[in-house]
């Protein structure tokens, strides 16, 4: 064993038993790896294996009882001492699983030395949570939230020595209200078990609590909001899990639980939505007006249908083919890397988000919470639209693997504004189909996309009722009508779809707040197979 001055371990190497053979096992703290190698000459199926120490879940002393392959009988080895290492195993499609490997030796001191070294290494992982506050929505999705937590998540938390205070919500906004009352400082994170609605409720509670404690008025649309440093974990158990899918790459409870255990951290942009200097909602994924707003409004009347209501309402809304006339004003996002039309998707270690993080740190160092009003020019677009979508992330999901905006970033302080102008049903169908394949969904003459940091929308109905002029001096107008001329006299409002919840007001003002909150996630990793990530085939054959 090599050591640094002061006794800090750099490298621990031993010959340990694995299965029925001896393997060379190395713990390299400097490289951050636990590796084991078969010392015999290389042969097919006998690979070198390693695990990053940051992805070790736990280590435990183990009773060593193994089945002898030669006789097929159970036989206790002479005074064996063993320990088991639990670690993250990465599979295809971003799926993670908890696996284990057991090493043994005849020397009790050596065994204890390994256990102590590994436990000290885990203690050094300061980003890992020790105490969590868990909210479970027992009614969301297929009503499986409580079962999923108890059977799949709680055992993993227990293995990792994480204690949790669990609250099963009893009504809407239960979690949000509770977060304004609890002693939040005693927790290392908040976990929500449910769908996007449950996440939204916890997010509103945490951000609202932070603004209240900081004395910030949420009703002021230009107020710089206080960053929420406590992380949120999402255990997917709902009808839609867009936020989880877009930040982890898969909607899987075990994968999400493992991201929480190892203490991953992913900053996330949040948009604030206001109407007439009144705070309405926060949004992290989709703000949709027109098509997606109409789908949500219709589906809310058919909740008894379950998840199928979205398909039914989507088909019905597509046939109705409503379009809406209005005016959009927005501030283009300048001084940012990338654009909505490039092919650079947001992935783990995204350079675009890192650059934004550095700029944010410099701005806070210079100004703190002092806000300087942006003087950037506002652009105004008037037209007839089938859909107006604003996304802070790709909004990827199993049905739309690329999402509404494949190149949107999680933490660059911007949102992608997508305008789908009035077109034929056939053209609109072509656009919708592009969400399900790899073709460029913005490559249509009737689709415009912009990267923005704030925007406003006003309809004619709002203009007629309020006769107001915005503070940037741009008059807005709008008119609502149907595709068929005979129906133009039937004026109606569309609805804003804000992360799956309806907003009553059609005229809104939206501002993107860079990295306002943090998740227990690391962004979507580049696709890799088991073999590319780790070589475990030989281990599983031996155990």
Compute the average pLDDT of residues 57-79.
61
Q: Encode pLDDT of 474-489 as tens digits.
A: 443 333 333 444 344 3
The verdict on whether 196 is a catalytic residue reads yes
Name the architecture of domain 2-125: Roll (2.30)
Candidate CATH numbers 1.25.40.20, 1.20.910.10, 3.40.190.10, 2.60.200.40; the one for domain 269-362+377-515: 2.60.200.40
How does residue 141 score in pLDDT terms, banded at 50, 70 and 90?
A: low
Which of 81-85, 210-214, 257-261, 401-405 is predicted least confidently?
A: 401-405
Question: In which band, very low, low, confident or very high, does the pLDDT at 465 lie, cut at 50, 70 and 90?
Answer: low
Q: What is the mean pLDDT of the chain?
A: 84
Three-class SS state of 109: helix
Q: What share of the chain is helix, strand, coil (3-state, %, to 5)?
A: 30, 30, 40
pLDDT of 48 reads: 81
Query: Exactly one of 196, 241, 294, 416 is catalytic; which is it?
Result: 196
CATH 3.40.50.10330: which residues of the chain? 127-265+520-525
**pLDDT band per the 50, 70, 90 thresholds, residue 127:** very high
Residue 73 reports pLDDT greater than 80:
no
Whole-model pTM? 0.87
What span, in angstroms and rounded, lies between the C-alpha atoms of 222 and 471?
12
- May I ask the CATH architecture of the domain 127-265+520-525? 3-Layer(aba) Sandwich (3.40)
- State how beta strands 96-105 and 81-90 pair: antiparallel
- Answer with the residue of higher pLDDT: 480 or 300: 300
Looking at the chain, the whole-number percentage of residues with pLDDT higher than 70 is 82
- The CATH 2.60.200.40 domain(s) of the chain lie at 269-362+377-515
Distance in Å from the first CA to the final CA of the chain: 27
C-alpha distances in angstroms, 383 versus 47, 429, 430, 445? 62, 20, 21, 14
Q: pLDDT tens-digit profile of 245-279?
A: 999 999 999 999 999 999 999 999 999 999 999 99
């Amino acid at each position: 064993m090599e050591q640094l001055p002061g006794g800090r371990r750099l490298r621990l190497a031993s010959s340990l038993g694995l299965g029925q053979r001896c393997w060379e096992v190395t713990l390299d703290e400097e490289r951050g790896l636990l590796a084991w190698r078969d010392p015999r000459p290389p042969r097919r199926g006998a690979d070198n294996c390693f695990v990053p120490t940051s992805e070790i879940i736990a280590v435990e002393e183990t009773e060593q009882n193994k089945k002898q392959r030669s006789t097929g009988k159970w036989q206790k080895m002479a005074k064996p001492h063993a320990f088991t290492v639990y670690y993250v195993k990465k599979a295809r499609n971003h799926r993670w699983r908890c696996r284990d490997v057991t090493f043994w030796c005849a020397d009790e001191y050596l065994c204890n030395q390994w256990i102590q070294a590994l436990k000290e290494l885990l203690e050094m992982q300061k980003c890992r949570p020790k105490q969590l506050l868990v909210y479970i929505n027992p009614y969301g999705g297929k009503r499986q939230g409580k079962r999923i937590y108890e059977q799949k998540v709680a055992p993993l938390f227990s293995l990792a020595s994480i204690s949790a205070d669990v609250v099963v919500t009893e009504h809407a906004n239960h979690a949000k209200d509770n977060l304004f009352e609890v002693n939040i400082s005693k927790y290392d994170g908040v976990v929500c078990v449910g769908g996007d609605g449950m996440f939204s409720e916890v997010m509103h509670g945490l951000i609202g609590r932070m603004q209240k404690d900081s004395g910030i008025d949420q009703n002021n649309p230009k107020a710089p909001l206080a960053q929420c440093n406590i992380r949120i974990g999402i255990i997917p158990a709902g009808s839609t899990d867009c936020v989880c899918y877009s930040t982890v790459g898969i909607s899987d409870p075990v994968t999400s639980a493992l991201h929480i255990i190892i203490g991953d951290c992913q900053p996330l942009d949040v948009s604030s939505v206001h109407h007439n200097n009144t705070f309405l909602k926060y949004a992290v994924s989709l703000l949709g007006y027109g098509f997606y707003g109409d789908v949500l409004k219709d589906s809310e009347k058919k909740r008894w249908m379950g998840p199928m209501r979205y398909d039914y309402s989507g088909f019905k809304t597509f046939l109705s083919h409503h379009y809406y006339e209005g005016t959009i004003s927005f501030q283009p996002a300048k001084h940012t890397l990338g654009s909505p039309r490039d092919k650079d998707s947001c992935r783990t270690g995204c350079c675009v988000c890192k650059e934004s993080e550095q700029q944010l740190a410099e701005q806070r160092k210079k100004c703190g919470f002092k806000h300087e009003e942006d003087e950037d020019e506002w652009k105004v677009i008037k037209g007839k639209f089938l859909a107006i979508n604003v996304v802070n992330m790709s909004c990827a999901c199993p049905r739309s693997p690329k999402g509404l905006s494949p190149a949107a970033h999680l933490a660059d302080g911007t949102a992608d504004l997508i305008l789908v102008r009035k077109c034929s049903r056939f053209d609109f169908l072509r656009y919708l189909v592009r969400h399900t394949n790899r073709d460029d969904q913005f490559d249509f003459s009737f689709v415009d996309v912009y990267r923005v940091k704030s925007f406003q929308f006003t309809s004619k109905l709002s203009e007629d009722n309020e006769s107001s002029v915005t503070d940037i001096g741009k008059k807005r107008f709008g008119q609502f009508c149907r595709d068929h001329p005979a129906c133009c006299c039937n004026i109606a409002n569309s609805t804003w779809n804000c992360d799956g919840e309806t907003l009553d007001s059609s005229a809104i003002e939206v501002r993107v707040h860079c990295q306002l909150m943090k998740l227990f996630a690391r962004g979507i990793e580049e696709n890799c197979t088991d073999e590319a990530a780790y070589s475990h085939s030989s281990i599983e054959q031996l155990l």
